[in-house]
Amino acid sequence: ITFSSSIPLVDLSKPDAKTLIVKACEDFGFFKVINHGIPLDAISQLESEAFKFFSLPQTEKEKAGPANPFGYGNKRIGLNGDIGWIEYLLLTTNQDHNFSLYGEDIDKFRGLLKDYKCAMRNMACEILDLMAEGLKIQPKNVFSKLVMDKQSDW
């Protein structure tokens, strides 16, 4: 296992990834993934569109809320709401539990979110399959099929 700031680093492109995932989970409980196949450009585009979304007027952002449980939300923080204000966008990969993003200004964001959520779900399944393989559990998709289940919030 390669360590980056004491966090185990798992290279998904390496043949020993399944062994490293199991070891990282046993020793640390988590790990950082590299060479996961999600293009940096796709991540950068999504970040750029997210920045544009949070720069919209408040009334436009609120069309994607309230976050119940998914969507746009905001709140004051601190005991008396005096520390600051945060806003957030809670997402799920389950299309049945999706919130609405409306307006032509965020069509690109909506499309990028859909692609990103699909890529994240696929990567999660790949990691879960590797974990099952590393643990010698059969069938190897025993965990990932739970994520792919229609009722999953993933």
Q: How many domains does the chain have?
A: 2
Residue 77 lies in a domain: yes
Return the number of other C-beta atoms located less than 10 Å from residue 138's C-beta: 9
User: Rounded distance, CA 129 to CA 132, Å?
Assistant: 5
Name the pLDDT band for 110 (thresholds 50, 70, 90).
confident
Cα–Cα dist 49/8, whole Å: 30
Look up the pTM and report it: 0.76
Q: In sequence order, what are the residues at sequence separation of 6 or more whose Cβ sits closer than 8 angstroms to the Cβ of residue 91?
A: 70, 113, 117
CA nearest to 49, candidates 105, 129, 127, 87: 105
Q: Are 23 and 43 members of one domain?
A: no
Question: pLDDT category, 78, cuts 50, 70, 90?
Answer: confident
Domain that holds residue 129: 36-148
CA 69 to chain centre: 16
Q: Which two tokens stand for residue 42?
A: 């796709």
Beta bridge partners of 73: 88
Local confidence band at 94 (pLDDT 50, 70, 90 cut-offs): low
Query: What pLDDT score does 31 carry?
Result: 96
Q: How far, in Å, CA of 127 to CA of 144, rounded?
A: 8
Burial class (CB in 10 A: 0-12, 13-18, 19+), 27: exposed
pLDDT score for 107: 77
57 with 132, same domain: the answer is yes
Same domain, 84 and 134: yes
pLDDT band at 104, cuts 50/70/90? Answer: low
